Structure 1
């Protein structure tokens, strides 16, 4: 184990092996023993690889551990940075030869793995929790049971968990840990969480706490950082005066302030005749431009860099980025955030640096946003008291105080200790309320994001002149902005009611029915600022959202003319022809052909669910072969509703009348060309469009399932069939089956020891009683597991068929 860890820590294959820290090996051993952990370690101690190593080691040695890692971070920039560095390392030839690892990134403005199909998945806490509560940010509500299923058998890492809100995200995450405890492994990591919080989480997790010992801390304490308090608001002139060569990192609390300081500093340096490279980094930038800056930062602020540079950034750099500045100039912020920022100065062994913290008071005004949103009753506002406590503690220090681990711990306990202890106690006391909220959300599909994840969540902004040209499946570039911030900006436009009624500058998407293969997302102009509060994606005209590749998005209070708006709009990463052919096109396929293909793919993919299968088999007191058999049965039966008379009549009519092809078989799919506008229009005609079939199939199988399986197996099996097109379907229509339907079903069950019967339905049903079983955690886990396997195999079968018919070479891309 130690040798493999040493090889993993090397940056190049030919480097001398790097010795892992004792705590890193301790974490790996405990996790591989099946323990859940809370790890406390200072910034720069190597927590990331301590978290990833046990999964990689288990994969190399073929040990039972986890099917995938879902590595969650509080900030998008941090997720992107760790994704790039991890992917680069794991693609090293010497590691790739022993590890076959697919590393992916899933974020709001980089939705590259919305269904969590990678082996090592970097994502944000928002993405994880939204998937858990059944309204995933990364995909449609109809597909909600696919990413949720990725949690079963997963190893979930929460980095910098102290940044989770005590009122929204943390209670939801604690509920997830409790609900999924038998099926999911957890590692929580922090550099700055007070001891009472760590103790409470260890108890709740039924896990262990790992903290670095004095000897290890002393080895990491060869850095020297001097701390100064500046009792004034930072200006561009301060940055110019304090920068005397080397690498200066400026961190401020708001994007607008970072942009204004950049413009101010650029003018000052130009007037002084100083040629210094200055960059800006924040969340309101297109991914390609942010990645360019991040790449520059990684080089300019690297361990051995001698480059002269200035970076003006927001909180996006305060956690996890492996960079080191010689001078850190920062706005005042909470003590735990401040220590994260300090971790970007003199980060590496034997380096020296200076940290200067600037006041947020100016002209009698306290600029405490975004940390303090309301200053009413300041004595009762914990966030306000934390800001005051941090300010007071810094003022009491002697100028030039050396930052030690003891000082960091003292600062955290002094500022956050009592308040966080009170907060975590309240969270634990009221956790049953959050459990009820999440349960209702999972059953009804009506979760309130602001209550369960984050009150100030983000919206992805697309910038474009022509909404009709924007197809979300083509993956347009997006910029992230706070939802409430966008709302307040739009409210401040001071438009008249008539102007809002005629708005052609701000749009939100309308998504089609998941089963309507002919439809696409359309853009609807909003008539009120409040409408953006209900959407994850908003399209803005460049006249309101001017974009510059250097400073990012700049919202305009007054609409610009075309010349002022500039040329920068969201570009697409997929071409239109590729998207249309992959998204909608179907090839004729008989019922038996389709079922056999889906079953084949599901069986071939079983290695990706080994740990989930093992966890479920233990919980349900079955052996893994029996669980696999249930997954196989679900894929074999998922489309029995298509054997209904009305479904087959409509499909046959399409083939014979519209496509002019003779048809005598029972079908699963007809020929459908998404690139043909005439077919798109014809499909919408009632005489061709088949009725829904998923819930109808489940209802027809309900009696047989109830007689064949235990209720806790029958219910998730039926739910997976019922919801293999829409995660919240529950209403069925009447169904009468075709002649030969049962024979087709029995043929489709080849090698399975079952003989199901189908019961026709002459009345409509609402499956509320079946859905209510999702209150049972074991039923929920089995349902997610079966749904994910079925839906991914179902999708892959059609995508693979299309690729073969197009004469394209098979690759792993069809699984995406």
Structure 2
């Protein structure tokens, strides 16, 4: 199918080098418009035409599963023609297919993206924190439905990210619902082009030829005392008998569950199929429900298998589901959310639909209870009341948006500008290594989700905690429930029929030797009981099954229903990998790391480096050259007397002494060998560090790469920091060291792996020793490590450390096989 006129305009604008903020109505094909520049250039355009990595970012844990599958099918077709595959993945709390953002097209939630950008990734351990930030450098970034970004956290952090990557990472922000002033001002702020569809372009889109009438209902759907479903029932049964389709959207899961139960039991709906969809279903059940919804609400009626259906849902239906109903019933929400939901009613050409918006009690405005959201709800209701039963086309929808959102949008823009400096400082603090995941969460979104697992024996999960079936809960919801559970458990409330439980909730924590940040060994975990609600800020928590329930119809309930606890992950039972090492020479390790870099990362660094060099007016090719040096010199610190003596002592202790004259990068280690485990406990903590020492030793070589030392100083600091932190995200302190005699021979042999233009670099001036003191540390902190408030420093560092760490990890694995 050919592109609409505006989709062609988006493609041409993006390929001309201009980033975009796009506003188009629901059902107009924004996703295809956004992906077309990437898809049109991925398979057969010359390298460098456009990024060959794309990250498609959504605000909620719901992705367009159907579209993802279509992309995979399209990739398979193109692969047969161009001999090149497009690897498509998803990275959310539910679909953890790409935790390191390595696939060429990744659909991800904004939480996953911004946590990675802040070097506190939700998908990885603290020690691996600097792996992901570089994934966004030089990639094509698509932000969908960005009007849903939290204005106090998500939006300013996203804007900071895009300003920093301006000219390096092309981006497209898109929405169906933003005020005109906000659209124009944001575009100006980001140096992007704002595209709002013209009347002619709207007429070009068949889905805009439809009718959608809006009505208001002056009572809540669900209150503490009552559930009002008469309007839903009558409007549903008034539809054509052979194809009745209704959608009901509540603002909270608990209300949606109550409403679903009331509809399912209603006597007049005996022949109607009623379904429930929200964020608290197991992945398999949710996917089955989403597939059923896509089929039963599809525009092609011949695909329907039931005559009549009502779907009850939450905000998860706002994005990601290609569906259309005849009647939509929604609790009051800001205009942007109402119109987003309305995009699932009369979605296709020629359809006629009715949208009913219900008033809510003041205590039921959550998650729209903040001052600005409350004001938007009031103005939305006010405008809809004055346009009762009117048909709203895109022009009138824009009037509603402008009426409800312009006042708060103006305050938002003023606030963003007023707090920008403070927000930046909080980002820089995280990049320096100050602050926790909780501090990062405050910059990601104030309504972030908590990943929840249900199991009676959490210790069973500690070897693979993130592979267990999980749910997503709002932290406020979990904290409130925890306080209730705790009070009842301690007071033995008469309604508490579970007996006194030994624990209610446990949280995941990292264990092991925190000082061991100098190897590629995997992180270990354990669970600790939660005593207070404020302790629930954790990457994952486990709830006692006695407190909750689950069924495929209702999903997770925060009260006992059907007993449920997650299965122990199969990975833990049959594929538990013991991490060991084999004796490996220094030269062999560097050779394998360089081999992985050359095959997997060199092309990426070349493309990203070209964009960086253009943005900063640097010498062409200098980023790639520095990356090669970083790869070949990252372990020079292991050529110290202390490290080699430790390796010699270890090998002698296990009965396999080192051959004479060898310098080693890894010693033998078998985690199933009792002798090795005993020696690890005895000697492991004495193993000398090597990462910052490596960077310090090669300072003269790194500096010799800079044709203009002042201009290219950020690249030097990025290289120094990448080497220093190739095992942990914030390592900065070296130990005193002295390189072994003959170190030049070992380094010279590995330098032969470099391009000829780099092989002539003089290594004689290397800093052979360091006597550590406070003065040396001050010099490292102020002159050698990246400065978090220097954007070129951070951009280059993110790219270099990503390539180095992956190459080092994979090279190490090759050496262990």
In the alignment, the residues of structure 2 paired with residue 402 and residue 70 of structure 1 have an alpha-carbon distance, to the nearest angstrom, of 36
The counterpart of 1:369, out of the listed 358, 366, 370, is: 366
Question: Could you report, residue by residue, the CA deviation over 1:255-286 in whole angstroms, capped at 9, with x for unpaired residues?
Answer: 11111112222222xx4571433221111222
Asked whether the 8 Å contact 2:64–2:319 carries over to 1, the reply is: no
User: 1:789: which partner in 2?
Assistant: 803
1:653: how far off? 3.1
In the alignment, the residues of structure 1 paired with residue 571 and residue 311 of structure 2 have an alpha-carbon distance, to the nearest angstrom, of 32
1:499: how far off? 9.3
Asked whether the 8 Å contact 2:167–2:615 carries over to 1, the reply is: yes
Are 2:634 and 1:644 aligned?
Answer: no
Point out where structure 2 has 5 or more consecutive residues left out of the alignment: 222-226, 238-242, 493-499
In the alignment, the residues of structure 2 paired with residue 441 and residue 98 of structure 1 have an alpha-carbon distance, to the nearest angstrom, of 42
Matches within 5 A, 1:515-554: 515=518, 517=521, 520-533=524-537, 535-554=538-557
In the alignment, the residues of structure 2 paired with residue 210 and residue 652 of structure 1 have an alpha-carbon distance, to the nearest angstrom, of 65
1:532: how far off? 0.8
Q: For the structure 1 residues 46 and 683, does the alpha-carbon distance in structure 2 shift closer, same or farther, using more than 3 Å as the test?
A: same
Asked whether the 8 Å contact 1:165–1:454 carries over to 2, the reply is: yes
Q: For the structure 1 residues 368 and 677, does the alpha-carbon distance in structure 2 shift closer, same or farther, using more than 3 Å as the test?
A: farther
The counterpart of 1:460, out of the listed 446, 451, 458, is: 451
SS in 2 for 1:330: strand
User: 1:718: which partner in 2?
Assistant: 720
SS in 2 for 1:145: coil
User: 1:382: which partner in 2?
Assistant: 372
User: 1:568: which partner in 2?
Assistant: 565
Q: For the structure 1 residues 85 and 674, does the alpha-carbon distance in structure 2 shift closer, same or farther, using more than 3 Å as the test?
A: farther
Asked whether the 8 Å contact 2:90–2:96 carries over to 1, the reply is: yes
Matches within 5 A, 1:311-710: 311-361=311-361, 365-373=362-370, 381-399=371-389, 401-446=390-435, 448-470=439-461, 471-472=463-464, 475-495=467-487, 503-512=502-511, 513=514, 514-515=517-518, 517=521, 520-533=524-537, 535-556=538-559, 566-572=563-569, 574-581=571-578, 584-605=579-600, 606-619=602-615, 621-658=617-654, 660=656, 663-664=659-660, 665-674=662-671, 679-680=676-677, 682-686=679-683, 690-706=687-703, 709=706, 710=709
User: TM-score, normalized by length of structure 1?
Assistant: 0.88
Asked whether the 8 Å contact 1:474–1:574 carries over to 2, the reply is: no
User: 2:286: which partner in 1?
Assistant: 290
In the alignment, the residues of structure 1 paired with residue 383 and residue 576 of structure 2 have an alpha-carbon distance, to the nearest angstrom, of 56
Point out where structure 1 has 5 or more consecutive residues left out of the alignment: 1-17, 374-380, 806-816
Asked whether the 8 Å contact 2:453–2:540 carries over to 1, the reply is: yes
The counterpart of 1:183, out of the listed 137, 148, 168, is: 168
Q: For the structure 1 residues 755 and 334, does the alpha-carbon distance in structure 2 shift closer, same or farther, using more than 3 Å as the test?
A: same
Q: For the structure 1 residues 298 and 445, does the alpha-carbon distance in structure 2 shift closer, same or farther, using more than 3 Å as the test?
A: farther
Q: How many positions carry a matched residue from both structures? A: 764
- Report the aligned-residue RMSD: 2.6
Q: For the structure 1 residues 519 and 223, does the alpha-carbon distance in structure 2 shift closer, same or farther, using more than 3 Å as the test?
A: closer
In the alignment, the residues of structure 2 paired with residue 641 and residue 738 of structure 1 have an alpha-carbon distance, to the nearest angstrom, of 10
User: TM-score, normalized by length of structure 2?
Assistant: 0.88
In the alignment, the residues of structure 1 paired with residue 655 and residue 542 of structure 2 have an alpha-carbon distance, to the nearest angstrom, of 38
Question: Could you report, residue by residue, the CA deviation over 1:336-365 in whole angstroms, capped at 9, with x for unpaired residues?
Answer: 10000000011111122221112213xxx5
1:335: how far off? 0.5
Q: For the structure 1 residues 103 and 680, does the alpha-carbon distance in structure 2 shift closer, same or farther, using more than 3 Å as the test?
A: farther
Question: Could you report, residue by residue, the CA deviation over 1:617-657 in whole angstroms, capped at 9, with x for unpaired residues?
Answer: 32454555432221111010111112222322333333332
In the alignment, the residues of structure 2 paired with residue 124 and residue 657 of structure 1 have an alpha-carbon distance, to the nearest angstrom, of 49
1:156: how far off? 0.8
Q: For the structure 1 residues 170 and 659, does the alpha-carbon distance in structure 2 shift closer, same or farther, using more than 3 Å as the test?
A: farther
- Worse overlay, 543-552 or 675-684: 675-684
In the alignment, the residues of structure 1 paired with residue 523 and residue 27 of structure 2 have an alpha-carbon distance, to the nearest angstrom, of 50
- Worse overlay, 593-602 or 347-356: 347-356
- Worse overlay, 419-428 or 671-680: 671-680
SS in 2 for 1:298: helix
Matches within 5 A, 1:131-146: 131-146=116-131
In the alignment, the residues of structure 2 paired with residue 677 and residue 580 of structure 1 have an alpha-carbon distance, to the nearest angstrom, of 17
User: 1:10: which partner in 2?
Assistant: none
Asked whether the 8 Å contact 2:118–2:440 carries over to 1, the reply is: no
Asked whether the 8 Å contact 2:43–2:78 carries over to 1, the reply is: no
SS in 1 for 2:311: strand
Question: Could you report, residue by residue, the CA deviation over 1:347-388 in whole angstroms, capped at 9, with x for unpaired residues?
Answer: 111122221112213xxx552111014xxxxxxx32222111
Asked whether the 8 Å contact 2:220–2:228 carries over to 1, the reply is: no
